[in-house]
Amino acid sequence: ALNTVKLLEKVDFSDIVVSLKANDVLTTILSYQLISDKISYPLHLGITASGPPPEGIIKSSIAIGTLLFQGIGDTIRVSLTYDPVEEVKIGYQILKSLGLFKGGPDLISCPSCGRCRIDLESVAKEILSEIEGIKTPLKIAVMGCEVNGPGEAREADIGIACNKRGGTLFKKGKPLRKVKEKDIVRVLLEEVEKMSQEAD
């Protein structure tokens, strides 16, 4: 890559973006770390031929995320054996996780341990699919029990902490009302929509 850059510079060509993508995480990270000290041209980050999900997502997230956290990289590409639309979504999630992109909601939900009172996976998936088009940066919490749930839900813009009978809805750290289990998704989405409209 350095030799190619030097050849281009010899003919006064400087409109250059450098990509050093490899198909494994460590080679990718080390390559970009080395070249970032030697050139000032923009660096395009990614793992090439990373494979299908979940392996490809994990490889891409670790490599791209590590480099961006170190201040290395200017553009990214998540390359998967998968739908290209999903590649873009995963790229945005990497940026959001590092605080480099502020658009759209962030859904947090707990692991479904033995205390979980509802079918949390189904609820979280349904909410995630419904909030996809929202541009407002909101933190949404869906927590499965009354032990850790209230604390996490209070930290969110809007959240619900579930119990045996349904759950408690929290908004900006304050409990709003009780919600029946069958109404959890509908009520939470209504509140998200309201908050999104208020922010616009």
Helix axes of 55-69 and 84-97: crossing angle, nearest 10 degrees: 40
How much is the pLDDT for 110? 86
pTM of the model: 0.84
CA distance 159 to 142: 6
Among 66, 97, 128, the domain boundary falls at: 97
How much is the pLDDT for 152? 81
Look up the domain containing 138 and give its range: 106-199
Whether residues 82 and 127 share a domain: the answer is no
Give me the average pLDDT of each 10-residue run along the chain (200 residues).
94 96 94 96 95 96 98 97 95 95 90 82 93 92 84 88 89 92 95 90
How much is the pLDDT for 95? 97
Whether residues 93 and 113 share a domain: the answer is no
Provide the domain count of the chain. 2
Whether residues 92 and 157 share a domain: the answer is no
How much is the pLDDT for 189? 96
Query: Residue 128 sits in a domain of what CATH number?
Result: 3.30.413.10
